[in-house]
């Protein structure tokens, strides 16, 4: 981290907004001024751009650490994203432009999408789903994923979207935690030319998920109409999406939801072995995602907005579905991998669909850099006018490459810091307003109060420290599903009265934020959050493993990669075969994203006298650094032994 800090400190480049962009930008300096004058009034003004069934009585009730926004107000998220656009020209405008990995395409106008969502809402109702019930969604990136979310929102059901790359066991645990009544999945999804058998995994999950009463299956495999053989359907429980929707009417009234009614639960990794169900509610969340989409992405009617995140992550929720549709945008959605069939797939998609705004992750940008400039250079990318980055710190070289080779030197870059917990963007430039510095997420969005604190919780005007949020914001998580004590402990106990984000950061002399990454036991692997404890729990469930410690190791493309130190039971011997076995075991338990890059066998693990594994030391070893202070160790000899074996195994 100190190397990283040095590089960032020496970053002197500045990019001030082009006057042509600024002249027409949605964002203005006045937004910051009005939010600084009266934060609640600013957010109320943003909320006022939505359609409310009943106005709110109070903007905010704040009983730390519990916030209620737009108290007493009633609205429906799906009606805001769809119905209200149907009376004007948006009715016949593309809401979703989609391309599947095999190249199949669909375009849904706002009218089309609204009709499908109403039918899906009625289908859910017909299966007995009521307001407040939980519905799990385990789908590839197909239009039905957005429809399913919006259908839940329409009837007041709470969705829990589970990333399609997660394993059956991860699905089971999430479904059980939320006690979902319905699971929506697909026969499969395409990834690098292969079909990911989602329904088969869903079947395994449902075998141990007693709350599931019904499963709805989207038929995804193109070119095989009527071929339903890929998924085995269980009579009475399983229903084809297309048949179910054909059997219901397309009339449905949106449910009047309280501003604080649950909209969704989204599981994310924390510092224990058990993922946290992050709870988001209706009015505040929609207000923040709608406002940030409008100002950060500068959306205009002619734009084609492509956020490359999967719907299984918060970025997909807020900036593929809710934020853009609330703004009446045209959203482009792509199902598959960026290197399929060739490494220019993204650029071919930008050219084909005339994408104007691209929002992606540094890990992808670093892969594109490695693949070379020929791929983007072969395509006409002149429609692009704004680029975004999210999910992890973007290194200045990647920022500069993105700016030059994708943005043609003319597109502003918005590096946006936020989290599953924050619901929407928190620290970001406003294009046309904010001067950017490569590698810095710049300054808090209007109405957001971010403060840097030291270990003792003292606020620092600049320097290095921890990123905290000192005032509630509309899109904030309300709690952890079913575990409010964990909510209070995780986010509000380290620095009383403040939300602790878990990130280390630096603030420079201009007040610009440079996010340095997680300071807790959460890793960021290729932009995905993975808890070290989750991977450790998966490893120790393997019959050969006695103990395991997992650390993050710097990685050129992924940002961080997983390195696991494993001690075996006496009955097992280290071998290359066992390493492969353990990697496959983790992938099967959690999902391929958690597969460790390296596994090292070791006779002991370094522990403090109180028995805590010293992960920091392991990280030093994994990254080949000189060892830090080992005086608190129970047995310092363990470390030098470990370092020796590590180096010999690595060679
Ligand atoms: C990291 C994704 C630096 C950070 C929206 C945070 C970032 C975690 C940035 C949340 C950024 C996200 N610069 N780091 N622009 N954006 N992060 O919940 O460590 O999947 O805590 O939300 O990603 O990841 P999550």
**Average pLDDT of the chain to the nearest whole number:** 94
**CA proximity to 288, closest of 327, 257, 331:** 327
pLDDT at 328: 98
pLDDT of residue 651: 47
Calculate the alpha carbon distances from 353 to 94, 172, 348, 380, 402 in Å: 12, 37, 9, 11, 20
169 lines ligand 1 (CB under 6 A): no
Contact 572, 578 (CB under 8 A): yes
Rounded distance between C-alpha atoms, residue 587 and residue 595, angstroms:
5
What is the third-level CATH fold of 515-650?
GMP Synthetase; Chain A, domain 3 (3.30.300)
**Cβ of 100 below 6 Å from ligand 1:** no
What pTM, to 2 d.p., does this model score? Answer: 0.94
536 lines ligand 1 (CB under 6 A): no
Which of 624, 623, 566 has the alpha carbon at shortest distance from 600? 566
Tell me which residue has its CA closest to atom 25 in ligand 1.
419
Report whether residue 518 contacts ligand 1, using a CB cutoff of 6 Å.
Answer: yes
| Per-position DSSP letters for 481-498, written without gaps between them | TT-HHHHIIIIITTTTTS
Mutate to test the pocket of ligand 1, among 390, 444, 506 (most ligand atoms within 8 A of CB): 390
From the CB of 284, is ligand 1 less than 6 Å away? Answer: no
pLDDT at 1: 47
The CA 418 to ligand 1 mean position distance, Å, reads 5
DSSP per-residue codes, 360-423: E-HHHHHHHHHH-THHHHTS--TT--EEEEESSPPPHHHHHHIIIIISTTTS-EEEEB--TTT-
417 pocket-lining for ligand 1 (C-beta < 6 Å):
yes
CA-529 nearest atom, ligand 1: 20
Quick check: CB of 313 below 6 Å from ligand 1?
A: yes
Ligand 1 atom 12: residue of nearest CA: 391
User: Does the beta carbon of 363 sit less than 6 angstroms from any atom of ligand 1?
Assistant: no
Residue 164, C-beta contacts closer than 8 angstroms, at least 6 positions apart: 138, 139, 140, 141, 189, 196, 198, 310, 312
492 and 64 Cβ atoms separated by less than 8 Å: yes
- Residue spans per domain, the chain: 515-650
Q: Is the CB of 268 under 6 A from ligand 1?
A: yes
Residue 389's CB: how many other CB atoms inside 10 A? 25
Q: Ligand 1: distance of its center to the CA of 122 in Å?
A: 36
Residue 459 structure tokens: 């606020």
Q: How far is the CA of 528 from the centre of ligand 1 (A)?
A: 9
Q: Do residues 606 and 565 make contact, with C-beta atoms less than 8 angstroms apart? A: no
Task: Show the low-confidence residues of the chain (pLDDT under 70).
Answer: 1-9, 222-229, 626-634, 650-651
- Look at ligand 1, atom 24, and give the residue with the nearest C-alpha: 419
Distances (CA, A) of 205 to 199, 214, 376: 10, 13, 41
- Ligand 1 in reach of 140 Cβ (< 6 A): no
Instruction: Check pocket membership of 390 for ligand 1, CB cut-off 6 A.
Output: yes
**576 vs 584: CA distance, rounded Å:** 13
Residue 104 CA, chain-centre distance (Å), reads: 26
How many CB atoms neighbour CB 635 within 10 A?
12
pLDDT in tens, 93-144: 999 999 999 999 999 999 999 999 999 999 999 999 999 999 999 999 999 9
CB–CB of 450/39 below 8 Å?
Answer: no
Whether 252 and 268 have beta carbons less than 8 Å apart is answered as no
Task: Give the rounded percent of residues in the chain with a pLDDT score beyond 90.
Answer: 87
Does 90 sit behind a cis peptide bond, omega within 30 degrees of 0 on the bond before it? Answer: no
Cβ atoms 469, 499 nearer than 8 A: yes
**Phi and psi at residue 337, to the nearest 5°:** -90, 150
Strand partners, 505: 465, 515
Nearest protein Cα to ligand 1, atom 13: 393
Count the neighbouring beta carbons within 10 Å of the beta carbon of residue 18: 14
């Amino acid at each position: 981290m100190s190397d990283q800090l040095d590089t960032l400190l020496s970053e002197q480049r500045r990019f001030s907004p082009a006057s042509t962009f600024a002249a027409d930008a949605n964002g203005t300096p006045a937004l910051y001024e009005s939010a600084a004058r009266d934060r609640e009034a600013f957010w109320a003004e943003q909320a006022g751009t939505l359609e409310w069934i009943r106005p709110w009585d109070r903007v905010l009730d704040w009983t730390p650490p519990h916030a209620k926004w737009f108290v007493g107000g009633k609205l429906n998220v799906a009606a805001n994203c769809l119905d209200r656009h149907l009376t004007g020209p948006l009715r016949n405008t593309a809401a979703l432009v989609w391309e599947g990995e095999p190249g199949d395409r669909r375009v849904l106008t706002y009218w089309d999408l609204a009709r499908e969502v109403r039918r899906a809402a009625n289908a859910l109702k017909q299966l007995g789903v009521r307001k407040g019930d939980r519905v799990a969604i385990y789908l590839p990136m197909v239009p039905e994923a957005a429809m399913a979310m919006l259908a839940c929102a329409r009837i007041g059901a709470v969705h829990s979207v589970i990333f399609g790359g997660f394993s059956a066991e991860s699905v089971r645990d999430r479904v059980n935690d939320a006690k979902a009544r319905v699971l929506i999945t697909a026969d499969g999804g395409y990834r690098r030319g292969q079909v990911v058998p989602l329904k088969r995994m869903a079947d395994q999950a449902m075998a141990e998920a007693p709350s599931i009463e019904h499963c709805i299956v989207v038929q995804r495999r193109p070119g095989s109409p009527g071929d339903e053989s890929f998924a085995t359907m269980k009579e009475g429980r399983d229903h084809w999406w297309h048949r179910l929707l054909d059997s219901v009417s397309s009339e449905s009234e949106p449910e009047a939801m309280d501003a604080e009614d649950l909209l969704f639960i989204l599981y994310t990794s924390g510092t224990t072995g058990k993922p946290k169900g992050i709870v988001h509610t209706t009015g505040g969340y929609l207000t923040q995602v709608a406002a940030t989409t409008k100002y950060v992405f500068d959306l205009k009617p002619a734009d084609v907005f492509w956020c490359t995140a999967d719907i299984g992550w918060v970025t997909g929720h807020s900036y593929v579905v809710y934020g853009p549709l609330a703004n009446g945008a045209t959203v482009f959605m792509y199902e598959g991998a960026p290197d399929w069939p060739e490494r220019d797939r993204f650029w071919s998609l930008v050219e084909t669909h005339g994408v104007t705004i691209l929002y992606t992750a540094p890990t992808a940008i670093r892969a594109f850099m490695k693949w070379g400039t020929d791929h983007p250079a072969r395509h006409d990318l002149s429609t692009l006018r704004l680029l975004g980055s999210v999910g992890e710190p973007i290194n200045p070289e990647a920022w500069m490459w993105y700016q030059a080779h994708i943005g043609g030197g003319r597109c502003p870059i918005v590096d946006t810091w936020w989290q599953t917990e924050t619901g929407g963007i928190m620290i970001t430039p406003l294009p046309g307003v904010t001067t950017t510095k490569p590698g810095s997420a710049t300054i808090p969005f209007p109405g957001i109060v971010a403060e840097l604190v030291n270990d003792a919780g003292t606020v620092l005007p600049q320097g290095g420290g921890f990123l905290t949020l000192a005032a509630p914001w509309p899109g904030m998580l309300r709690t952890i599903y079913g575990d409010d004590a964990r909510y209070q402990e995780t986010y509000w106990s380290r620095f009383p009265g403040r939300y602790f984000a878990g990130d280390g950061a630096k603030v420079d002399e201009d007040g610009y934020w440079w996010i340095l990454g997680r300071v807790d036991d959460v890793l960021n692997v290729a932009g995905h959050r993975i808890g070290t404890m989750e991977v450790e729990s998966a490893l120790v469930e393997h019959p050969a493993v006695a103990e395991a410690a997992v650390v993050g190791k710097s990685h050129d493309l992924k940002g961080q990669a997983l390195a696991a130190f494993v001690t075996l039971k006496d009955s097992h011997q280290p071998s290359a075969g066992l390493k492969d076995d353990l990697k496959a075991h983790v992938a099967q338990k959690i999902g391929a994203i958690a597969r460790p890059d390296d596994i090292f066998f070791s006779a002991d693990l370094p522990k403090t006298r109180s028995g805590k594994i010293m992960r920091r030391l392991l990280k030093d070893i994994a990254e080949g650094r000189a060892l830090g202070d080992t005086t608190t160790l129970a047995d310092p000899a363990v470390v030098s032994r470990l370092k020796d074996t590590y180096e010999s195994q690595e060679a």
